[in-house]
Amino acid sequence: MVVSTILSVASLQGIINTLQAFPLFVYLFSFIKDLVVAVLKTGPIPRHVALIMDGNRTYAKRNQLALKDGHSAGAESLLLVLDVCYRVGVLYITIYAFSIENFNRSLEEVDTLFGLLRDRLKLLCENDDSYASVNKVRIKVIGNRDMIPHDILKDLETIEDKTNTPMVNKVLYVGFPYTSRDDITHSIRTTVDQLNLGEIRRDQIDLEMLQKNMYMGADAPQLDLLVRTSGHTRLSDFMLWQCNANCTIEFVKTLWPDFKFLSIASLLFKWSYYKTLQLQVESAAAEVPHNTHEPTDIFNQLPPPPPFASVTQRQL
């Protein structure tokens, strides 16, 4: 049932987009959105969500738009999704804004993406009443800074400094330009440098230290939910290290520019539903005396896990 609900979300979103032309519906939808957010807030919510925003070019082609308009539409979706996530209580969001592989695209498209990223991030934190200031969001670039042109890097560092205040309680990690293999290589190089400088001993090198030396740094929270749009069922070198432990991975067919309120809300509901079941199982298991490996009744009543990945993690 959950799956069919998710599948019908895309067509429902189309109808909603049409109705948004009427002011009465705009009011009605904003009321319904507030209600949905309020309901979501009553259940468990992922602390850290990562997004692979795929499908901008396909969207542009399908709608006979210029390529840059496809990416602009993607940026609009991003702002909307960020807002829903932060409103329901997600604290960390990581986006795949530009992969190192994306340097293989035409110079024009790379320039478009760089400019879009810089301009939209600037808009997010420009004034005291801009989104990042009001919502206490820190923007942090994760990726290989050596590959970023000097003028763009300068602007991004200004954005990072501006949003790095003691007031912030949420983070937007921007993967730019990022790949997981580069992240892991960077961590290993940093660790070897520390070893050579005598700052650490060889026996101190462990998973925790490697993680600390990754672009996200020591405070990196565990990833709970990773979403990829546009129907491709692969991770494309994103969050390979971070998604290994108890992270739900969702592949949805919707193109990123069409990924709006209902799309993200339905995935958050789904995550929350399975997390609630998982917590029930854990609390039931905690009540069972030690040294028994019998499955509990509540475990047997569980519905089958979701199709792609499960937070319920059956361990019999």
Ligand X SMILES: CC(C)=CCC/C(C)=C/CC/C(C)=C/COP(=O)(O)OP(=O)(O)O
Contacts with ligand X by CB under 6 A lie at 53-58, 71, 74-75, 78, 95, 97, 102, 113, 116-117, 120-121, 174, 230, 256
Q: Which is nearer to ligand X, 97 or 247 (CB)?
A: 97
Q: How far is the CB of 53 from ligand X (least distance, A)?
A: 4
Contacts of 44 (CB under 8 A, 6+ apart): 271, 272, 275, 276, 279
**Other Cβ atoms closer than 10 A to 16:** 15
Shortest approach of ligand X to residue 118 CB, angstroms?
Answer: 9
Q: Compare residues 55 and 143 and give the one whose CB is closer to ligand X.
A: 55
C-beta of 56 vs 312, nearer to ligand X? 56
Among candidate residues 177, 183, 170, the one with its CA nearest the CA of residue 156: 177
Smallest gap, in angstroms, from Cβ of residue 162 to ligand X?
A: 15
Least distance to ligand X from the beta carbon of 9, Å?
19
Which residue is it, tokens 């399908």?
A: 62
> Could you tell me the smallest distance in angstroms from the CB atom of residue 109 to ligand X?
8
Whole-angstrom distance, CA of residue 314 vs CA of residue 293: 13
Please identify, using beta-carbon distances, which residue of 116 and 205 lies nearer to ligand X.
116
Least separation in angstroms between residue 235's CB and ligand X is 14
Q: Which residue, 168 or 302, has its beta carbon nearer to ligand X?
A: 168
141 versus 220: smaller Cβ distance to ligand X: 141
